[in-house]
Structure 1
Amino acid sequence: MPLSAHHLRASVAVSDIARAVAFYEGRLGLPSLRATPSGRIADGGRIYGSGGGPALNVYQSPTAGTSEATLATWYVDDLDQIVDELTAAGVEFARYPGLVHDARGTTPRAGGGRIAWFRDPDGNTFAVEADV
């Protein structure tokens, strides 16, 4: 059976699972579906739900925050509403040199639509984007 027949879940390394839980659950509002082990840490990971199923594996690791690339993107219908809700929850949106950002921190996306980026406490980058 090809990989395309199976669900895909993003995995993100964090340096402190307790701090990550406060961010992913408290600020992003993601539901924790279950705690998982991470390396030698019995309760060092979490599986978070999004879009109706398991979507994000967050685990404690010494490699946390080492990628500058966007690790996962939420595709949303109303970008302004989502950005406003996350901002009210204390999420700060990144602004990149050379891009024009509006007051919320959103910018036009290549090919149309708009996008906004934010980082978790370890510097892992995520995006929210919309086609309009």
Structure 2
Amino acid sequence: MPLSDFQVRASIAVSDIGRAAEFYEGRLGLRALRSGPSARIADGSRVYGSGGGPALNVYQSATAGKSSATMATWYVDDIDEVVDQLTAAGVEFTRYDEYEHDAQGITARAGGGRIAWFQDPDGNTFAVEADH
């Protein structure tokens, strides 16, 4: 069977699962579907749901925050509303010098649409994106 027959989830390494849970649940509003072990840490991982199914595996690891790439992107209908809600929850949006950002931290996306990036406490980068 080809991999396209199966669901895929992003896996995100964090340095402290408790601090990460506060961010992912408290600020992003994600719901933990389950928790479990991560390597030698009894309660060191969470699976978060988004869009009606499991979406993110978050686990405690020494490799936390080592990538500067965008780890996952949420595709939203109203980026202004989502960015406002996340900002009100304490999420800070990242501005990159090579892009022009509006007051909310949103920039034009290549090929049309708009995008805004933010980071978790370990520096893992995420985005919200909309086609308009």
User: Where does structure 1 lack aligned partners over 5 or more consecutive residues?
Assistant: none
Aligned-partner residue type, residue 88 of structure 2:
A
Stretches of 4+ aligned residues off by more than 3 angstroms = none
Written as runs of structure 1 = structure 2, the 5 A alignment for 1:107-126 is 107-126=107-126
Q: Secondary structure at the match of 1:55?
A: strand
Match of 2:76 in 1: 76
Aligned-partner residue type, residue 100 of structure 2:
V
Distance 2:86 2:112 in 1: 23
Instruction: Compute the displacement of 1:101 (Å).
Output: 0.2
Match of 1:11 in 2: 11
Per the normalisation by structure 2, the TM-score is 0.99
Q: Deviations over 1:11-57 (max 9, x none)?
A: 00000000000000000000000002101001000000000000000
Q: How many residue pairs are counted as aligned between the two chains?
A: 132
Match of 2:98 in 1: 98
Per the normalisation by structure 1, the TM-score is 0.99
Q: Secondary structure at the match of 1:22?
A: helix
**Aligned CA-pair RMSD:** 0.3
Q: Secondary structure at the match of 2:77?
A: coil
Distance 1:51 1:8 in 2: 13
Instruction: Compute the displacement of 1:87 (Å).
Output: 0.1
Aligned-partner residue type, residue 55 of structure 1:
A
User: Where does structure 2 lack aligned partners over 5 or more consecutive residues?
Assistant: none
Q: Secondary structure at the match of 2:49?
A: strand
Distance 1:14 1:48 in 2: 14
Distance 1:89 1:36 in 2: 27
Aligned-partner residue type, residue 36 of structure 1:
G
Instruction: Compute the displacement of 1:98 (Å).
Output: 1.7
Q: Secondary structure at the match of 1:26?
A: helix
Q: Secondary structure at the match of 1:127?
A: strand
